[in-house]
Amino acid sequence: MAGGLKEVRERIKSVVNTQQITKAMKMVSAAKLRKAQGAIVQMRPYAERLNRMLSNILSNLDGGGTTSFGKAREVKHALVVVMTSNRGLCGAFNTNICKEAVALINEKYGRQRRDGNLTVLFIGKKGYDYFRRRYRDIKFTTDYIPVYDTPEYETVSAVARHLMDAFSSGQYDAADVVYGRFKNAATQIPTAEQWLPVPKTDAFSVTSGGAKQKKADYIFEPDQQQLLETLVPSILQLQFHKCLLDTQASEHGARMTAMDKATENAEELLKTLRINYNKARQEAITTELGEIVGGAAALEG
């Protein structure tokens, strides 16, 4: 019985130590989440409005202006960018993003995958680890690009410019980004978006009342082509950066939620272990008392 008590004591000590770690990780993630959430909440409306404006502009170009980033062509070579975190312990966050990427590949780029013309690029180590173990037939550009932990605009935009140059040169005919869209600390939505070529809007949009209205018409000053060459790359780089910030905020929210749940589970486990320990201790004391009484009775007899 003493051996059993010792084993339960060691388990209690181990669970207490683990609970302290999960509490600390939750607090760290909460602090990081506040910063990451502030960054994405401030950027998202700006980025989404610019993205809508870009789609509108490219949908209503006249003959005087062109840009390679808005020209759809036959997709012979495709690129999928998968954004995940570098670390785990955040629940199913990374796995859900990878599953979304696999669904996109199977549904949209199945032919390119069979022909060996699909390339997957990873930002974040967990996505690379997931695909490397399961999908050896897919071509990877490299292990993963180590910019996830340094999400400054200058660093991320350099990666975006490299991919945009590859698209302009014809190395890729389409590029999609799969990332975690941040909703709140408890909800992260795996999202796949077409990045290149820029998706165009229809000539008319439908209002909430069902009526059609013409898209906005833009007046370019000083020169349409000059503005396109400057505006379009800037918006695309900003959109790429927004996806990474979204993923980072989602990671911290997912880890904070996972560590909070782990702390609660540890508390429940501790209650059970302490009850079992007390029961075992009472049984040991009762057994010892019985042996003492029996020994005393034998001596008296």
Catalytic residue numbers, as ranges: 90
Question: Which among 254, 272, 280, 205 has a CA at the least distance from the CA of 92?
Answer: 254
Return the closest-CA partner of residue 5 out of 300, 290, 273, 227.
Answer: 273
Kindly give, in sequence order, each residue whose CB lies less than 8 Å from that of residue 144, ignoring residues fewer than 6 positions away: 122, 123, 124, 125, 127, 128
Contacts of 31 (CB under 8 A, 6+ apart): none
What radius of gyration do the chain's Cα atoms show? 29
**210: which residues sit within 8 A by CB, 6+ positions away?**
none
List residues bridging with 118 in a β-sheet. 78
Using alpha carbons, select from 251, 245, 244, 243 the residue that is nearest to residue 94. 251
